[in-house]
Amino acid sequence: EEDLEEYEALAAISTYNEHPEGKRSLREAEKAQREAEKAQRKAERKANAIKPALTSLQIYQRHVEEVLQVSAAAWDELSELHEMLRKEFDGLDAEERQQFERRAQRDSVRYERDVRRRKKRAALKAAQAADAGSVVDDVDVRKSSEAQFKVGEVEQSS
């Protein structure tokens, strides 16, 4: 086996990249990279998303999961378990049910508060961006008027 010099390896790679198979593999690699970046952006958006308000039934389900130490995946797999849970929740007396409804109401208030904060933050960012754009425009106007003033001085002194 012969070791290739660096320039020989680079020449071989460039020759391969010019070949249709090489071009296809480059396109596939670029596509895979774009998709990975897209998935990462999506995951970041999802992590920053506002969590929706939970219903009293969902809060009750989480309570039962904690008590029974059962994963949430088990509920999703069997619709029969979900239906049994719903019937059990409907059969709760008023006091027990009120506890979960109050928690659901607090969660709904939290969700509405988060939505208002997000909208307020977005409006503030938009206003700051608009202000930043107008400041840049003002600076450009000042610079151009100063340049015109200097040109006028030069013409008058000549």
End-to-end CA distance of the chain: 79
Tokens 């409006």 belong to 123
Contact 54, 111 (CB under 8 A): no
pLDDT in tens, 4-37: 788 888 888 888 878 888 788 888 999 999 999 9
pLDDT at 54: 87
Residues 6+ apart with CB under 8 A from 85: 57, 60, 61, 64, 75
pLDDT at 75: 61
pLDDT range class, residue 134, cuts 50, 70, 90 = low
Task: With both helix axes pointing from N to C terminus, report the angle between 56-68 and 94-157 in degrees, rounded to the nearest 10.
Answer: 110
158 pLDDT above the threshold of 70? no
Averaged over 100-124, what is the pLDDT?
93
pLDDT at 74: 63
